[in-house]
A and B are shown apart, each in its own frame.
Chain A
Amino acid sequence: MALSLCNLVSRNSLAPLPIGRLLLSTRGLQTFSLPDLPYDYGALEPTISGEIMMLHHQKHHQTYVTNYNKALEQLDDAMNRGDPSTVVKLQSALKFNGGGHINHSIFWKNLAPVNEGGGEPPRGSLGWAIDTDFGSLESLKQKMNAEGAALQGSGWVWLGVDKELKRLVVETTANQDPLVTKGPSLVPLIGLDVWEHAYYLQYKNVKPDYLNNIWKVINWKYASNVYEKESA
């Protein structure tokens, strides 16, 4: 069928070829899988319960991955068939599920058990940048906590770096929108998941308690690495 033809032929120029739009790139469809956590489910206790970590990873994140792959397959099929209305219709499922996969993949790296550096304040260039742009680490935490508490519905609070303006930013996104939807030059450093599934089983409706506590397991080493790479 058209798909197997695609795998045989490589197309380097944009000039139209006789077979018309049946020819596409040789890349097969790449699908995604759930990344492993770098620590046990219970390793973030008592800040985040093992029960939440397991459900969050195995159910929620896995569902985003599964549905993202499904949407990608449907997109691939629609593109091959030249079906623009299906392509457009799939955009919200791609954004939601793809965003969910992107955001949660970052989130697991944003967290670390206390005995592996979770909660240790950032040193080096990120530490200085925080002091410069926010006054102090405490001030940054308060700002992010306030944004998180005020966020209506589901979403994320981000510490990001604007790689064009060379400046740290605090932003929120709704639902599973990745940080880049707030600005193409924004790179996420720390994301706080404020969907209810991230805290409710343990903190119930008291979102501010969750936000106050999560800093105890934030992995600033990862954030510093990303920041240094983007600032290089």
Chain B
Amino acid sequence: MAAGSTAINFSTPCALFPCQPLSLGFSRSSFHRHQAAKNQNALEPHMSQETLSYHWGKHHRGYVENLNKQITGTELDGMLLEDIIFLTYNRGDILPPFNNAAQIWNHEFFWESMKPDGGGKPTGDLLELIKRDFGSIDTFMEEFRAAASTQFGSGWAWLAYKANRLDVGNAVNPSPADEDKKLVVVKSPNAVNPLVWDYYPLLVIDVWEHAYILDFEARRADYISIFMEKLVSWEAVGSRLEMAKAQAAERESEERRRQEEEEKNAGDAEAVEMYLDSNSDEPEAD
């Protein structure tokens, strides 16, 4: 992304026309989709054109416009969206641009999680990991549905890849193994997303009421079912999983490299003299 670049573009979602998911990873430098949406009824009858026209055309667009207003001329201007999200999450003490920034990211991710004639079952590596970490596809689906149904109020339900990394300044998992990295189902309120917990999101369903109220009224459970059976794009989830694994591997090798370098530097340095406290040999009791 060019330094000092301008406003975040309002992109058209991938699901509205046949396409390859583009640069879905964290390091994606552009959330532009330069293709024009052919029509907003691509997900009919499972998600109506009317819903898309408001959800994408008003809500999502509104978040983009509002974030641009908030960040123009500030230090956030020109930053990657993910970096804005990290910064403004502020370890939970949320700053105003967070809601808009995170909601932009969440909605992009949501559109890319669906496709016309979606549904079916996951395959390949994704299927294997689901079976390993949940026991079976059915158990995973149950847990995902439950998370989506029990997110009180507004929010999102996620499938994410959680690499087991210690979040302490200089500590590393001494023996990172593939088993440490797991698929997890999580739910989040309002605009929060798993990026702030350093998870790698793989799939999301929007359970804000505006996502389903026009098509399903109060019947969130029916909406969740239709999403799983007719809309979800397992291809998108699968390719995100590959990127998640690649990122985890890259982080591990970076940490190993850094650890090796530190050890090397420690060996090169002069031995440090240690001084014992002169009272240390005395018994503690008086």
CB within 8 Å of B: which residues of A? 55, 59-60, 63, 92, 96, 152-155, 174-176, 195-197, 200-201, 204-205
Chain B interface residue count, CB cutoff 8 Å, equals 19
Tell me which residues across on chain A come within 8 A of B99, comparing CB atoms: 152
- For A197, the chain B residues whose CB sits under 8 A away are 209, 213, 218
B58 — nearest CB in chain A belongs to which residue? A205
Q: How far is the CB of B27 from chain A (nearest CB, A)?
A: 28
Q: Which residues of chain A come closer than 8 Å to B155, judged between CB atoms?
A: 153
A174 contacts B153, CB within 8 Å?
Answer: yes
Closest to A58 in B: B218
Is B190 in contact with A204, judged by CB distance below 8 angstroms? Answer: no
The one of A174, A176, A196 that contacts B208, using a Cβ cutoff of 8 Å: A196
| Chain B residues closer than 8 Å to A201, beta-carbon distance | 213-214, 217
Residues of chain B lying within 8 A (CB to CB) of residue A152: 99, 190-191
Structural contact, B210 and A196, CB atoms closer than 8 A: yes
Q: A131 to nearest B CB, angstroms?
A: 32
Task: Say yes or no: B213 contacts A196, CB within 8 Å.
Answer: yes
- Judged by a CB distance under 8 angstroms, whether B154 is at the interface is yes
7 A-B residue pairings within 8 Å (CB atoms): A55-B218, A59-B218, A152-B190, A153-B208, A195-B209, A200-B214, A205-B210
Interface residues of B in 187-212 (CB under 8 A from A): 189-191, 208-210
Apart from A153-B154, A176-B153, A196-B213, what 13 extra A-B contacts exist at CB < 8 Å?
A92-B152, A152-B99, A153-B155, A154-B153, A154-B209, A174-B153, A197-B209, A200-B209, A201-B214, A204-B54, A204-B58, A205-B58, A205-B210
A174 to B189, CA, bound (A): 11
Question: Residue B190 contacts which of A96, A153, A195, A205 (CB distance < 8 angstroms)?
Answer: A153
- Note all chain A residues with C-beta closer than 8 A to B62: 205
* Closest residue of A by beta carbon distance from B211: A196
Q: Which residue of A is nearest B219, CB measured?
A: A59
Asked whether B59 is an interface residue with its Cβ less than 8 Å from the other chain, the reply is yes
Residues of A within 8 A of B189 (CB): 153
Within the complex, what minimum Cβ distance (angstroms) separates A138 from chain B?
27
Option from B58, B191, B209 in Cβ contact (under 8 Å) with A196: B209
CB pair A153–B213 under 8 Å, yes or no, is: no
CB distance from A3 to the nearest CB of B (A): 28
Bound-state CA distance A168–B19 (Å) is 56
B57 (CB) vs chain A CBs: closest residue = A205
Q: CB < 8 Å: which of B152, B190, B213 contacts A200?
A: B213
B154 contacts which chain A residues (CB < 8 A)? 153-154, 196
Query: Which A residues touch B58, using CB under 8 A?
Result: 204-205
Closest Cβ–Cβ distance, residue B55 to chain A (whole Å)? 9
Chain B residues whose C-beta falls within 8 Å of the C-beta of A205 in the assembled complex: 54, 58-59, 62, 210
Cα A204 to Cα B54 with chains together (Å):
8
**Looking at A63, A152, A176, which has the most chain B CB atoms within 10 Å of its CB?**
A152
Contact of B218 among A60, A153, A154, A174 (CB under 8 A): A60
Interface residues of B in 218-232 (CB under 8 A from A): 218
Residues of A within 8 A of B59 (CB): 205
Distance of B188 from chain A, by nearest CB (Å): 11
Query: What is the CB-to-nearest-CB distance from B21 to chain A, in angstroms, rounded to a whole number?
Result: 27
CA distance A174 to B155 in the complex (A): 13
Once the chains are docked, how many angstroms separate the CA of A82 from the CA of B263?
55
Complexed CA–CA distance, A154 and B190 (Å): 8
Residues of B within 8 A of A59 (CB): 217-218
| A155 to B: closest C-beta gap in Å | 8
Q: Give the complex CA separation of A196 and B153 in angstroms.
A: 10
How far in angstroms is the closest Cβ of chain B from A144?
A: 20
Q: How far is the CB of A48 from chain B (nearest CB, A)?
A: 15
Minimum distance in angstroms from A59 CB to a CB of chain B: 4
Q: What residue of chain A has the Cβ atom nearest to residue B154's Cβ?
A: A153
One of A60, A176, A196 near B152 (C-beta < 8 A)? A176
The chain A residue sitting closest to B192, CB to CB, is A153
**In the bound complex, what is the Cα–Cα distance between A60 and B219 (angstroms)?**
10
Known contacts: A154-B153, A196-B208. The answer to whether A63 contacts B213 by CB under 8 A is no
Evaluate whether A153 and B54 lie within 8 angstroms (CB atoms) in the complex, with A59-B218, A195-B209, A205-B59 already known.
no
- As a 0/1 sequence over residues 153 to 180 of chain B, the CB contacts with chain A under 8 angstroms (1 = contact) are 1110000000000000000000000000
Q: Are A63 and B190 in contact (CB under 8 A)?
A: no
C-alpha gap A215/B189 in the complex (Å):
29
CA of A227 to CA of B165, assembled, Å:
55
| Chain B residues, CB < 8 A from A92 | 152
Do the beta carbons of A63 and B210 come within 8 Å of each other? no
Q: Which 7 A-B pairs have the closest CB atoms?
A: A196-B209, A153-B190, A175-B153, A153-B154, A154-B153, A59-B218, A205-B58
